[in-house]
Amino acid sequence: MILSALAILVAIVILSLLVTWTRVLEREADISALREALRETISEGGERAVLEMAGIPVEEIHYSYEDIPLYKGERGAWNLSEEDRRGVSLYRKAAPSVVEIISAKEGSGNGAGVILSSDGYIVTNHHVAGSGKEFTVRFHDGSEAVARLVGSDALSDVAVLKADVTGLTPITAGSAYSVSVGENVYAIGHPYGFSYSLSRGIISGLGRTVEGPRYGVIPGMIQTDALINPGNSGGPLLSADGRMIGLISSIYSTSGSAEGVAFALPVETVIDVARSIIETGRVHRGWLDVLAVVLNPAIAEYASLPVDEGILISQAVPGGEADKGGLKGGTEATQYGQSVIYLGGDVITAINGVPMRGWNDYFAFFFSSHAGDEVTVTVLRGGESVDISGVILIEQDESNIRWIAR
């Protein structure tokens, strides 16, 4: 009786072990089959197909940027928002192309610069370079090099430096003409000496005309509300994909600190100006060799002019290109503030068909012109509109750019 019971118990145990073992083998076989099925699914349709099979909405998938892992530790990148990952990615991409410019005389940080080429050309602001000829530039990896001034353009607020190093990482250029108001943008710089700081904002305006640091105006500026402070000047304004769309140039402030209005020079202009400086040492911008007065209602009424907007030619430089081209100055001397102007000359109303209403229009036209260009100047002469073609532009410089009264 006891032996029979023991035999039955042993049989049950053995049967249980066999069943368990069989289930384990079947489970391993199922897992193996599942693995193989998943491999085939991923091979054919990628991770999207697997997630769809699991019932996970594809719209909620967020993919990693560049080398940012999708899962990492307890707080994986999947916990970061799309905007967070974008910021991390573009900073990693662009920061090695930004430098800190240190004055060789003062030993302090002046601002930022952007690497244009692997052989050491760096672009920054004219007001960052100032009157210096030699600088120390500090790179993202902490190394330093001496850089000399290649050339500078006060009107556009652009300067080019050259460091005697190779193997640098140049910035990737985008286009300022393909962006829209409302897009996210980023700036990298060294505000108040806090090196390689990243700030984020939006494009809050395009095509702004801003007064330059020395004289004249800069047209086509990008306006942003990204926080820009002293030390950001000369750094890049980046689009959401990490491409440079502008060079940080100035802020509008009543306190000297960031107030949400900053401006960047379009990257296309930066590259054109830098190329001219690298090739010839300066920018060969065009200009009319006339002494000009910006019209206003008071002058127009006093001179009995039929228009109160435009550029009055007070004098044309005798024997100059404007004079030879047929532009006429005035003959009636009149006190105008601290200056003497001459009335009775031509009033420029357009150049190459572009209306000349005043100061901003006049400077904006010449900003992208070149010395030696031939232009058609539309003037009001004797009450009639006259087109004068073939007027040759002289080269703009620090002295003749001031031949205008506002």
Strand runs labelled E in 20-116: 98-103, 109-115
| Per-residue tokens: 124 | 């920054």
Q: 89, 153, 156, 157: which one is catalytic?
A: 157
Give, in order, the Cα–Cα distances in Å from 174 to each of 177, 246, 267: 9, 9, 7
Q: 152, 233, 250, 276: which one is catalytic?
A: 233
Task: Name the pairing type of β-strands 384-392 and 339-343.
Answer: unpaired
> For the chain, how far is it from start to end, CA to CA, in angstroms?
124
Identify whether 233 is a catalytic site residue: yes
Phi (first) and psi of residue 91, to 5 degrees: -65, -45
Exposed e or buried b per residue across 116-151, where buried means at least 16 C-beta atoms within 10 angstroms of its C-beta: beeebbbbbbbbbbbebeebbbbbbeeeebebebbb
Contact 102, 162 (CB under 8 A): no
Identify whether 127 is a catalytic site residue: yes
Give the residue among 342, 344, 360, 364 at the shortest CA–CA distance from 352: 364
Q: Which alpha helices (DSSP H) does 116-234 contain, by range?
A: 126-129
What is the C-alpha to C-alpha distance for residues 272 and 66, in angstroms, rounded to an integer? 31
Residue 262: Cβ-neighbour burial (10 angstroms; 0-12, 13-18, 19+): buried
Tell me, what DSSP letter sits at residue 155?
T
Tell me, what DSSP letter sits at residue 282?
S
Give the residue among 237, 240, 188 at the shortest CA–CA distance from 83: 240
Identify whether 284 is a catalytic site residue: no
Tell me, what DSSP letter sits at residue 130?
T
Q: 127, 156, 249, 314: which one is catalytic?
A: 127
What is the C-alpha to C-alpha distance for residues 386 and 380, in angstroms, rounded to an integer? 6
Please list the active-site residues.
127, 157, 233
